[in-house]
């Protein structure tokens, strides 16, 4: 189980939508899995700027939009702090998906 979760997190970090889709088809609850920083796949896709992966997660798993990492940060927090070129686009995607802009981190 841990290896499968690690594979999903690695796939998201690399922007490999196919591996992500295959992984969550087998176990959809893996989309809520967290790494040692408390980050979900949505956090990682946001940080890495993978718009297609973010869009897939938001469409298939909208309940993840306000998931918090161990510091209380959501994907929306990371979209504003990231240096990748897709940060503002992902920010808009998250807002449209219902991200709560009032959430404060720890």
Residue 81 covered by a domain: yes
pLDDT at res. 52? 98
Q: How many domains does the chain have?
A: 1
Residue 27 covered by a domain: yes
Residue 106 covered by a domain: no
Mean pLDDT of the chain: 93
At residue 45, the 3 state secondary structure works out as: helix
pLDDT at res. 4? 87
Question: Cβ-count burial of 106 within 10 angstroms (0-12 exposed, 13-18 middle, 19+ buried)?
Answer: exposed
Closest-CA residue to 96 (of 45, 58, 64): 58
pLDDT-derived band of residue 47, with 50, 70 and 90 as boundaries? very high
Owning domain of residue 85: 2-96
Report residue 3 as tokens.
């290896």
Residue 53 covered by a domain: yes
Residue 10 covered by a domain: yes
Find the mean pLDDT for residues 33-43.
Answer: 95
55-95: per-residue pLDDT in tens? 999 999 999 999 999 999 999 999 998 888 898 999 999 99
Q: Cα separations (Å) of 39 from 22, 29, 75, 96? A: 20, 14, 9, 21
Residue 104 covered by a domain: no
pLDDT at res. 3? 87
Report residue 9 as tokens.
């997190």
* Domain CATH for 51: 1.25.40.20
């Amino acid at each position: 189980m841990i290896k499968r979760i690690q594979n999903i997190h690695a796939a998201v970090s690399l922007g490999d939508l196919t591996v992500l889709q295959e992984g969550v088809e087998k176990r959809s609850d893996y989309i809520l899995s967290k790494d040692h920083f408390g980050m979900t796949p949505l956090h990682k896709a946001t940080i890495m700027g993978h718009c297609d992966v973010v869009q897939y997660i938001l469409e298939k798993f909208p309940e993840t939009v306000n998931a918090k990492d161990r510091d209380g940060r959501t994907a929306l927090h990371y979209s504003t702090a990231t240096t990748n070129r897709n940060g503002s686009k992902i920010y808009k995607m998250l807002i449209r998906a219902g991200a709560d802009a009032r959430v404060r981190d720890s």
